[in-house]
Amino acid sequence: MREAPIGVFDSGVGGLSVLAEIQRLLPNESLLYVADCGHIPYGEKTPEFIRQRCSVMAGFFREQGAKALVLACNTATVAGVADLRRDFPDWPIVGMEPAVKPAAAATRSGVVGVLATTGTLQSAKFAALLDRFATDVRVITQPCPGLVELIESGDLHSAELRQLLQGYVEPLLASGCDTIILGCTHYPFLKPMLKSMIPADISLIDTGAAVARQLQRLLAERDLLAGGPNQPVRFWTSADPAYFKNILPLLGQSAGEVQNFSL
């Protein structure tokens, strides 16, 4: 069981930023990754639809013998993680949430910005995070339509992307934010461009590394940490496998085999 793989999924390529953090912290683990690109973006789908996709993914990873599940998607976590934990109480399940707590602790100006999808920002879970951890800070939220689609196309450098991102970041800077939460797993891929737009003393915070640490903790508790050596990452996508394979090297992954996910 220790050498069984870990299942990771996202609506698209964004979860590869989380996958990379898991690979860094847990190099002995074998990983499975499903990109549900045929249904992206999740942020514009109903909670019922997203819960259904989460259930499909969980069933698939169970069939593959996965020992744990990572929802590498904020929107999927908001909609589906509670149901999955209820349905699979024996399974270590790790979700995402915007890093409100560490950002509230890090800010010096008392103003925190959040870049996220509309679905995440409108969720009750995000509101509860603010109530719990951000009572003493001012939080400026910025929905970012269009960013996910550009990153999904492999665009990390275009003038169109820069203009769109600049328009989302400027209101946060104007409000005095000194800490910006990257509230979508796609957005860490924009760090190089973001850093060229913001003063050097502004912190960018995402939750990929925290998710990897939580996964490590849950596996260790159950004596499920692998001894290695690991297997190459196996990829699936519900869109075009050839297209997805071409994107992988742009986002820091070796272009292994990509299979069609047709459930």
Q: What is the mean pLDDT of residues 36-50?
A: 85
Reported as a pLDDT band with limits 50, 70 and 90, residue 55 is very high
Instruction: Measure CA of the first residue to CA of the last residue in the chain; give whole Å.
Output: 25
Query: Sheet containing 6-10: which strands, arranged edge to edge?
Result: 93-94, 68-71, 6-10, 31-35, 234-237, 258-260
Does 203 count as an annotated binding residue? no
Note the pLDDT of residue 255: 72
Q: What is the mean pLDDT of residues 110-132?
A: 89
pLDDT value at 229 more than 70 = yes
Q: What is the mean pLDDT of residues 66-89?
A: 94
Residue ranges and CATH numbers for the domains of the chain are 6-95+209-260 (3.40.50.1860), 100-206 (3.40.50.1860)
Q: What is the mean pLDDT of residues 38-52?
A: 85
Query: Sheet containing 179-182: which strands, arranged edge to edge?
Result: 138-143, 111-116, 179-182, 203-205
Q: Is 177 a catalytic residue?
A: no
pLDDT value at 43 more than 80 = no
Asked whether the beta carbons of 189 and 17 are under 8 A apart, the reply is yes
Q: Are strands 179-182 and 234-237 parallel, antiparallel or unpaired?
A: unpaired
Note the pLDDT of residue 263: 67
Q: Please tell me which residue in 37, 54, 177, 184 is annotated as part of the active site.
A: 184
Using one digit for the tens of pLDDT, what is the confidence trace for 93-110? 999 988 899 999 999 999
Q: Is 184 a catalytic residue?
A: yes
Q: What is the mean pLDDT of residues 70-75?
A: 93
pLDDT value at 139 more than 80 = yes
Reported as a pLDDT band with limits 50, 70 and 90, residue 157 is very high
Q: Please tell me which residue in 37, 54, 73, 177 is annotated as part of the active site.
A: 73
Does 33 count as an annotated binding residue? no
Does 42 count as an annotated binding residue? yes
Does 39 count as an annotated binding residue? no
Tell me how far apart the alpha carbons of residues 220 and 214 are, in angstroms, rounded to a whole number: 10
Average pLDDT taken over every residue of the chain: 93
